[in-house]
Amino acid sequence: MGTTIGNVLISYDINKSHTQVKTALEALGYSDKFKNINDPKTYMLPNTTLWHDKKNSNQAMSELRTVCAKLDVVLEKAVTVKADEFVGI
């Protein structure tokens, strides 16, 4: 379960250090924005939601747990999903 490589979406709640956690995940290649095909606009994801184009759900959860542990942050809840296709506003 959660081992197919591709687009993965991750959303989480933590108790503190939101900016530091997000910055650490972005350093691992996660992004908080995307563009739709044939649309020049950049769309922002909700604050604690990121995506990666070359991970699987297990990797994303593991990396989130590692980042939180290193920063002494309590990971309250999280979900990672394979996201073959998504759009947003």
Instruction: Identify the pLDDT of residue 57.
Output: 94
C-alpha dihedral over 13, 72, 44, 52, to 10 degrees? -100
Instruction: Identify the pLDDT of residue 35.
Output: 84
- The class that CATH gives domain 6-82 is alpha beta
pTM score of the predicted model = 0.89
Angle between helices 18-27 and 57-70 (to 10 degrees): 130
> Contact, 86 vs 10, CB < 8 A?
no
Domain ranges within the chain, ordered by starting residue: 6-82
Would you write out the chain's pLDDT as a tens digit for each of its 89 residues? Answer: 566 677 899 999 999 999 999 999 999 999 999 888 888 889 999 999 999 999 999 999 999 999 999 999 999 999 999 988 777 77
**Tokens 């650490």 sit on residue:** 24
Give per-residue burial for 20-30: e unless 16+ CB within 10 Å, then b.
Answer: ebbebbeeeeb
